[in-house]
Structure 1
Amino acid sequence: MMDSKLGFLKPSPPIDLQIDIDHHYSSKTYNCGSAVTGNLLFTPRKDTPFESIRVSLLGTATVTRDDIEFAKTTTHHFLRTDMPVPASAYPESKIFQAGHAYSIPFHFIIPYHLTVNACTHKVDSHDVRNAHSRLPPSMDDCERQHTGPRTTVIEYGIYTAIDVQCGGRNKEPKLIGKKHVINVLPYFPEDPPLNIPQMSLEYAVEKTKRIRKNIFSSPDGRITAVALQPKAISIGPDGYGSSESAILIDLAFEPRSPDIQPVSVSSISASLHMQTWSRQAPSIAFPNLGLLRDAYTDYITLYSRKEIQASWMSSPKETRADGESSSTISYSSSIRVPFKLPASKKVFLPTFHTCLVSRTYKIQLCLAIGNTKLRFMVPLQVSMENGKPYLNGYGEDCSLGSATASMDMSRRESYLVQELWPLVSRGSENDVLPGYLD
């Protein structure tokens, strides 16, 4: 049964709207600075009085959770850009004539940054606020095999709405609307390495173990391994293709006695973990650095039991302050673990954080040393660099968003129609997000 509130879903409306985007195709990807131009086309079936016409670029994030009796959905409208429709685009009589073909052009620019009103809730740090002010990538395209739960959607689209008078001027106007979803992949520059907390539940980059020949023998020594965070993987502007990166593992072996040789490093396994975090309340911190364990995780094996060799270098052990040494010699080595994303099989989204949804990556490593194994969880950032800054027609840098996207938020929301784009009115407190439906 169709929702009676959505007038544009009722059968046989007086106007059948079509959104025609120039040079568009289903798999096309729009980046920051990309122009989205086209026309709103319609031919009324009968003479139709109308009140107003709206054409907007809208970005929304939606999280749905199944409750005991019903599904609960929270929606955040993080981007809304309204295009003023000039009076010359429609008849002065405010009546669309039957059989007459109308064409209303539109022109939008995908902004580089969201406005400050996109995130107004409390956060732990400026870094979180800055991350929430970036445009997130689209996350609702099964054809492109995005990884992520089907209950989490990030969608961009061109939305149009016409308030028409049905049954006379004294009748309340009804809304006729249409949307055309587009795929947006914004730029994400490489950020500094994560400052991993000591009690992290997600990451483990340092391991220390005692080495024994068997479980009954005394230890031959102690090995310490530290995995360094790799350089970010950079993906292409269409989401396909990626650069190569590598994880460097520093090893240190302290034998119990000088005659004990360092253990052999035989193999390493690696798998990529893709985590999608989503909540129905605003995130005040980065979810992967907290105590949350509710991420939807997908896995891809990078390689299994890859044979490697480590070249050990000996060095004298540092002497303690009392002039004695616990061991006369120690060994050190480094292992480089190169990897690349299988971008030919899946579309990988950049690492991002929004008020409701986050996407993070980590690599699980299993290093076989002697008869023991060391396991690591190393954070990985996926970025997408901008080749050159976008300049508008006046030669101005649009890196903080286009002039259209920077329109006053309160003025833009005055055009809002609850049936098509419902938003919750904002209170005076600072602990709730703008544009939420609970």
Structure 2
Amino acid sequence: MTSYSASITSNAGSIAAYAKKMSQTGRTDMEITLDDHADGKTYTTFDTLTGQVLITAPHTSRFDSIQITLEGTARTYVDSLSPTAANSKTTAIHRFLKMVMPIQESEYPQPRIAEAGRTYTFPYHFVIPDQLLPRSCSHTCTSDHVSEAHLQLPPSLGERELSGGRSDMAPDMSQIQYAIRVKVVRHRESDGKDVMLVEGQKKIRVVPAVAEAAPLSVNVSEDQFVLSKTKSLKKGMFSGKLGKITVSAAQPGALILPSPSTSDSKLATTMTTVQLRFDPHETSSRPPRLGALGTKIKASTFFAVRPTSSIPTHRNAQSQFEITRGVYDSSVSLSSRCVESVQWTEHKPTSRRGSESSDGSYVSSDFSDSSEHFIPKSNSGYYTASILVPITLPSNKTWVPTFHNCVVSRIYILNLALSIHTPGAGVPASNVSLHIPLQIAAAGNQTHRPSLTAAEAALELAEVNEFFRPRVLEVPSETMVGNSVLAHHATELPPSYEDFSRAPRPIAGAC
């Protein structure tokens, strides 16, 4: 079952509700235990959740059912921009996962009356799925790619107490929570409604397995990504041009979070390469001196109170006309190192065979293939250099995979800042910044098969036995042998082609 709701709430109302809840006394004692659980433990795809629910009533009372569910819920809110409602906000709750644990009739007390002081035990068993049901994303999307992304399990977000106190860089406006929930329900005979007598929950941290995706197709008009940038350089404050330098980098491979079940403490690491090209304005100009190369990771959390139909971007989230969604950015510095010793490689123009132009010579294009392609010779050659940039996730933050939910999304951007020093005096250092898409994936436990309960194992064994049950093949009776008749004698040729299917006739006078 999946639900989505949005409402406008007030801070004063939430405080009053909290005070009322704290004033209640004499409530039913409920304990939810989880086998092999420890503080800070992370669960992933196909992990089993087994445990018990212990319920002790303070006084004898009647009830009708016990509901044990594994639920995943996303909560977001956007502050109101109206001057008349400064303390109000629009809140959205999206329940994308709800797995129900069936309880047999024999496990209930007969009659269904909880005796005072007696403890009742109800076991449960869940397996974290690898995908959500289609009904968890029922709104319209711009493409199938968006729908498929919304049907993947999102990781826990905004639960600092479950991640060892480390921040996952999520704002208060977005939260994704997984919990085992228990409700004691009684059917009210006066109006036929179900009344919840008591409820409890046990939160768990879930980081599902996320496979590495293909490199992101970056649109030239996209404002949040810059893969290449060209900058003009001057010799000095009042001197001429030195040339142009182009800094570019390709998307690195994904940073893969290790499986929660592994004992390897190795941090997620990947590598990217920064390509440099310097085109001098004059033949005598030499490449500039490089300074420091700084790297940062920017975590962008998109949140909305209405389902998003496309992959969110900074442009649509920060639009002044957008009041139902927003974005929160947080940056983490990785490293800053001097790259002055990088070696430049000179590429001199090389003449090739071909027809002479007005200037008397031709050179081959740098991007041509083995066939003879020629372009006019330039005034000078160019220089190239490359810088290997290792990327390692720091351990002082809680990292979650890249994901896109109906109301919450998380993406990462690798920021590269290169400082360039010109030889002339009085010219400040130039800075070139790139913003590269960065993906974080998760290994999970994809190869681990979930354990079966005794009932599931018995059912699987019965299906196997049925498959291998001997079958008896009987010989058909004599009345059914040799009596097959083809009911269709029509030609297979298309209509009006019947004449071609007839036998050839001799032509009169032929030899």
TM-score of Structure 1 vs Structure 2, range by shorter chain: 0.7 to 0.9
The gaps in structure 2 that reach 5 residues or longer are 1-14, 81-85, 319-325, 350-362, 366-372, 423-429, 454-511
**Equivalent in the alignment of 1:288:** 313
Query: What amino acid is aligned across from residue 200 of structure 1 in structure 2?
Result: E
Task: Give the match for residue 424 of structure 1.
Answer: none
Which runs of structure 2 are paired with 1:165-244 in the superposition (5 Å)? 174-175=195-196, 176-238=198-260, 242-244=267-269
Question: Kindly, what percent of the aligned residue pairs are identical?
Answer: 28
Q: Which residue of 2 aligns with 1:342?
A: 394
Distance 1:207 1:282 in 2: 35
Distance in 2 between residues matched to 1:114 and 1:155, nearest whole Å: 15
1:62 counterpart residue number: 75
Encode CA deviations 1:227-251: one digit per residue, 9 max, x unaligned.
1111111122349752222221111
- 256-265 vs 204-213, greater mean Cα deviation: 256-265
Letter in 1 for 2:311: F
Does the aligned pair in 1 maintain the 2:66–2:184 contact within 8 Å? yes
Equivalents in 2 of 1:224, 1:57: separation in Å? Answer: 53
Q: TM-score, normalised by structure 1?
A: 0.82
Provide the residue aligned with 1:155 in structure 2. 177
Unaligned 5+ segments in structure 1 are 396-438
1:90 is matched with which residue: 108, 115, 118?
108
TM-score if structure 2 supplies the norm length?
A: 0.71
Counterparts of 1:79 and 1:179, CA distance in 2: 15
- Aligned amino acid, residue 288 of structure 1: T
Quote the offset at 1:173 in angstroms. Answer: 5.2
SS in 2 for 1:346: coil
Matched letter for residue 335 of structure 2: Y
Shift of 1:324: 2.9
Shift of 1:290: 5.2
Structure 1's 308 and 378: CA in aligned 2 closer, same or farther, altered over 3 A? farther
Find the aligned partners of 1:201 and 1:348 in 2 and give their Cα distance. 24
Q: Which residue is 1:417 aligned to?
A: none
Note the aligned Cα RMSD (angstroms). 2.8
Amino acid at match of 1:336: L
Match of 1:255 in 2: 280
CA contact (8 A) 2:29 2:57 kept: yes
Pairs within 5 Å for 1:18-167: 18-67=31-80, 68-142=86-160, 143-164=165-186
Aligned residues of 1:265 and 1:370 also touching (Cα < 8 A):
yes
How much has 1:7 moved relative to structure 2? 8.8
Out of 399, 403, 413, the residue aligned to residue 352 of structure 1 is 403
Match of 1:264 among 289, 294, 298: 289
One-letter identity of the residue aligned with 2:26: S
Q: SS of 1:260's equivalent? A: coil
Output the CA distance in 2 between the equivalents of 1:205 and 1:156.
37
Residue 153 (structure 1) shift: 0.9
Deviation, 1:393, is 4.9
Q: 2: CA distance between counterparts of 1:265 and 1:7?
A: 63
Q: Is the 8 A contact 1:368 1:374 kept in 2?
A: yes
What is aligned with 1:405? none
| Farther-moved stretch of structure 1 (282-291 vs 57-66) | 282-291
Letter matched to residue 95 of structure 1: I
Offset of residue 180 of structure 1: 1.1
Moved more, 381-390 or 118-127: 381-390
**Cα distance 1:251–1:12, how it changes in 2: closer, same or farther (>3 A)?**
same
What are the residue-to-residue correspondences of 1:391-406 with 2, within 5 Å?
391-393=449-451
- 1:62/1:154 contact within 8 Å kept: yes
Instruction: Please name the residue that 1:379 is paired with.
Output: 437
Letter in 2 for 1:335: I
Kept in 1, the 8 Å contact 2:46–2:445? The answer is no
User: CA separation of 1:118/1:56 partners in 2, compared to 1, >3 Å: closer, same or farther?
Assistant: same
Q: Please state how far the C-alpha of 1:47 moved relative to its aligned partner.
A: 2.4
Distance 1:319 1:367 in 2: 31
Q: CA deviation at 1:329?
A: 1.6
CA contact (8 A) 1:235 1:241 kept: no
Per-residue deviation, residues 117-173 of structure 1 (Å, max 9, x unmatched): 11121222222111111111111322232211022110000111111368x999965
Q: CA deviation at 1:394?
A: 7.0
AA aligned to 1:144 is R
Bigger Rg, which one: 2
Deviates more, 1:141-150 or 1:354-363: 141-150
| Structure 1 counterpart of 2:412, from 354, 357, 361 | 361
Distance in 2, matches of 1:188 and 1:332, equals 37
Structure with bigger RCO (C-alpha 8 Å, 6+ apart): 1
Amino acid at match of 1:357: V
1:303 is matched with 335
Contact 2:48 2:451 (8 Å CA) reproduced: no
Give the paired residue count: 392
CA distance in 1, matches of 2:200, 2:405: 26
Equivalent position SS for 2:313: helix
Q: Is the 8 A contact 1:31 1:110 kept in 2?
A: yes
Q: Distance in 1 between matches of 2:447 and 2:96?
A: 23
Work out which of the residue numbers 380, 384, 396 in structure 2 matches 1:332: 384
Distance, in Å, in 2 between the alignment partners of 1:308 and 1:103 is 68
Question: Secondary structure of the residue that 1:295 maps to in structure 2?
Answer: strand
- 2-structure distance, mates of 1:379, 1:98: 60
CA contact (8 A) 1:255 1:327 kept: no
When residues 248 and 171 of structure 1 are mapped into structure 2, their CA distance, relative to the original with a 3 A threshold, is: closer
